[in-house]
Amino acid sequence: MAFFFLLLVLATHFLYQLKDECHFYNGTQQVQLLFRDIYDQQEFVCFDSDLGEFVAITELGEVDVDAWNKDKQYLQYQKGPLSQIQVLGH
C-alpha cells in the first residue's frame, strides 16, 4: 500500500501539455504553426509547419517522430489548419 501511495504522490508532479503556436509574418502572407508536446516542463516533440514534419527535441520523442513522419495522412492532417489560415487571409 505504501508503494501505491508513493507512486500517486510522484505522479502528481508530472504534467503533459500540448501547446499550439501560430506566428504571422508579413501580415498573413507567411504563417508558421508549431504544435508542441511537453512532459514535465520539457518539450520533447514539435511539429513545425515550415519544415512540414515533426522534430524530436529529446530522446523521449524520437520513436513517435519516426512513426508520425512516415504517416503521410497524419502529416497532411497536421498541415490542415495552415491551409485554412492562408485561405482566410486572402
- Give per-residue pLDDT as tens, 20-66: 888 888 776 778 888 999 988 899 999 998 899 999 999 989 989 99
pTM of the predicted protein model? 0.68
Task: Answer yes or no: is pLDDT of 15 > 90.
Answer: no
Q: For residues 20 and 76, what is the distance between their CA atoms, to the nearest angstrom?
A: 17
pLDDT for 2 beyond 90: no
Higher model confidence: residue 24 or residue 3? Answer: 24
3-class DSSP assignment, residue 85: helix
pLDDT of residue 24: 83
Amino acid at 20: D
Which is more confident, 14 or 59? 59
